[in-house]
Amino acid sequence: MKEFLLLLLAHILSDFYWQPTKWVQDKRDRSFRSPYLYMHAGVVTISSYVFLGHWSNPLPALVVGVIHTIVDIAKIELDKKGSAVGFVVDQIAHILTIALVAVLLTSTFTVSSDLFGAWLYSPKVLAQLSGALLCLSPVSFLVGILTKPWRDELSILMPDANDNLANAGRWIGITERLLIFIFVIVGQFSAIGFLIAAKSLLRYNDKNASGDIPPAYISKKSEYVLVGTLMSYTCAIVIAMAAKMFYS
């Protein structure tokens, strides 16, 4: 279990936090010709090697890095539009790879518990840290892909609308998911209701402060925000409950 969680943590950090947007875009444009693809593979391999702590045997980390690169190339070639299905399949393939390597490691090796301290190697800490990181950037990507058709509809209805702060929605979603993740972990489900109520009041105020914005646009945007919020909350709750399964 420790091996799987350590490799999962390395994957989340490498794929979503240590991979600049410039690398992602260049990979999409040039596929296996992109030097950033192999730089990313190096980050995946090194982080997996460091997190596992098998200093005398780098083979597991190398396997993870090579298969990760093959999966990335396949995803780029088969999913040119960057669809939600492609994103999910890509992540499932990475997680299955991690699970397979973890199973092989468990049967032959013992992970040292003094690399980052005994506390980091506890399933509870690893599961909570991995779950919290999943709730942030990865879910933002997923919700963004799923809600893209409605964003396009809003832009057609009012192409010159400038009623949002730059990146505000993304950071609001990240903060909400992190709070919900914490609430579920500590068993405070009622606090989620207060969070939903607070956001509902804000959206009600937005709807009644229309100004020069067409009512149809306001109504559709409220529905768009509601859909995105429910998707975001659902993902956070599911991830938190899954994380608790590793140590409950």
Which residues have a Cβ under 8 Å from the Cβ of 174 and sit 6 or more positions away?
Answer: 135, 136, 137, 140
Q: What is the pLDDT of residues 155-185, one digit of tens each?
A: 887 776 665 655 677 888 888 999 999 999 9
The model's pLDDT over 72-103, given as tens digits with 9 standing for 90+, comes to 999 999 988 888 889 999 999 999 999 999 98
In this prediction, residue 199 carries a pLDDT of 72
Residues 6+ apart with CB under 8 A from 27: 34, 36, 37, 40, 72, 76
SS3 content of the chain, % helix, strand, coil (to 5): 80, 0, 20
19-23, 85-89, 166-170, 201-205: segment of lowest average pLDDT = 201-205
Please, what is the angle between helix 168-185 and helix 123-135, to 10°? 150
Residue spans of alpha helices (H) in 53-136: 59-78, 84-108, 123-135
More confident call, 119 vs 50: 50
Nearest to 13 by CA among 134, 111, 117: 134
